[in-house]
Amino acid sequence: MEEGHKKILQRYRINIVTSLDPSSLYDLLLQKGVFTPDMIEKIKSSGPRRDQARQLVRDLATRGSRAFPLFLECLQDSEQHSLAELLQSGAPVVQGSVSNRLIHPVVRTLPVSTAVDFQKQIKTVPIYPIKTPTPSPDSENLRAQTQVRTRMQGRTRRDSLQSYKMDASPCGHCLIINNVDFEPQSELSNRTGSNIDCDRLERRFQALGFLVEVRTNLKQRRIKHELSDLSKKDHSPYDCCVVIILSHGTEVSHNRFPGAVYGVDGQYVPVQYITNYLNGKHCPSLQGKPKLFFIQACGGGERDRGFEVPSDEAEPSSGGADDQTDAIPASSSSDSLSTSDEPDAGATLPTPSDILVSYSTFPGYVSWRDAQSGSWYIETLDHILEENAATDDLVTMLMMVNNEVSQNSAKGIYKQMPGSFNFLRKLLYFQTSTVGQN
């Protein structure tokens, strides 16, 4: 496939994954020779509709130069006109058509003046003093950019000198806490679709070289117990540690990391306490090593309706009919725990260096989850890691996640903005020798 067409598929990936009906395309793609029967079966077996759409786009990019226009024809034939028009609007004009041929101007030779005529012309040309033009703001900006480029010439990137060591095998421990079924007295709804998130992340971090352990439906005290056990492990042979929590969440008072996550008993643990279990003071074998926390939970109960931007600034995508939130009203107290039994209860805690906390949503706002395909944030995080971990560092990939999730719309109205609290000191590149293998 031509590089320009690949870029279009990448640019509109979230629109394709959200709205494409792959099942209506399979026979058409076979008839036109875009895919083989084996490739179609592979796509069908990749999972729910969104996973099939994602696999279809991934395989499409590996086909020949005619794959993209034939794909557009299949979209039109299956009456998926809106998506076809969206992709067509970004497609480059096909070279070689009559309307696009280059027309070369006719060059005519001008008569050459004699030496006498030339001397006469020189004498008659008036001479004026040269005025120095006043630089415009645009020219000043261009000059500044040119100067920056000039200064940067000759410099080499030093990424390898500024990266965490991430070559241990296994790379480290990864703990996933997946709270799905909440006790009736908690008055919290069950989190349908969270098992899809959990399965995705378990496969992804195993592929990234981690020892993954999954814990399901934990009460508050059990969450603390699992984190304490993790902090007591000897992490000396490893390079990193990951904690992922999938649960309901709420907004609480904090002085470091915002938010809290709920146990299935309706009692919560503040995120700042969760991170403290693995900081340099309470887990010496992780000192100087990256500690990564991924929180799929609401940061509060507020729903973001977004704001209007020019059409070329965003690529809107509607969420599914089964979109749900992980929101719980904000607590009026600072936390529901006694600080005396927490490892970081004191006021003189060390700076949380080498810690990154990635939140599915901005503090105070809800986080959306589709009962059929999982949460927006986890689904996007999974495929960004799959497609970019070989070339990009973690912080760059999280910005990609932010961008894609921000373009979703729940019920056609509500938005979501993930974000991170980043205290890493270096770039972090995952091991990728086995990325993508499930």
| Domains along the chain with CATH numbers | 3-89 (1.10.533.10), 172-422 (3.40.50.1460)
Q: Which two tokens stand for residue 79?
A: 């009456």
Is residue 240 part of the annotated active site? The answer reads: no
User: Sorting pLDDT into bands at 50, 70 and 90, what band is 251?
Assistant: confident
Backbone φ and ψ for 374, nearest 5 degrees, come out as 90, -175
Give the best-scoring range by mean pLDDT among 127-141, 211-225, 249-263. Answer: 211-225
Give the pLDDT mean for 140-153.
Answer: 52
* pLDDT over threshold 60, residue 97: no
Give the pLDDT mean for 91-96.
Answer: 42
Rounded CA gap, 248 and 252, in Å?
A: 13
Is residue 298 part of the annotated active site? The answer reads: yes
**Does residue 389 or residue 345 have the better pLDDT?**
389
User: Sorting pLDDT into bands at 50, 70 and 90, what band is 336?
Assistant: very low
User: Sorting pLDDT into bands at 50, 70 and 90, what band is 353?
Assistant: confident
Residues composing the chain: 438
**Does residue 126 or residue 21 have the better pLDDT?**
21
Residue 32 burial (10 A CB sphere; 0-12, 13-18, 19+): middle
Whether the CB-CB separation of 351 and 51 falls below 8 Å is answered with no
pTM above 0.75, yes or no: no
Whether the CB-CB separation of 419 and 402 falls below 8 Å is answered with yes
Instruction: Please pick, among 171, 198, 298, 383, the residue that the annotation labels catalytic.
Output: 298
The mean pLDDT of the chain is 76
Non-local CB neighbours of 218 within 8 Å, separated by 6+ positions: 177, 179, 226, 263, 264
**pLDDT recorded at residue 413:** 56
Give the pLDDT confidence of 224-242 residue by residue, as tens digits. 999 999 999 999 999 999 9
Residue 109 burial (10 A CB sphere; 0-12, 13-18, 19+): exposed
* pLDDT over threshold 50, residue 106: no
**pLDDT recorded at residue 369:** 63
* pLDDT over threshold 90, residue 209: yes
Instruction: Please pick, among 5, 173, 235, 248, the residue that the annotation labels catalytic.
Output: 248
Measured CA to CA in angstroms, residue 154 lies from 91, 151, 157, 342 at distances of: 36, 8, 10, 52
* pLDDT over threshold 80, residue 192: yes
**pLDDT recorded at residue 211:** 97
Give the pLDDT confidence of 264-316 residue by residue, as tens digits. 999 999 999 999 999 988 899 999 999 999 999 874 344 333 334 344 444 44
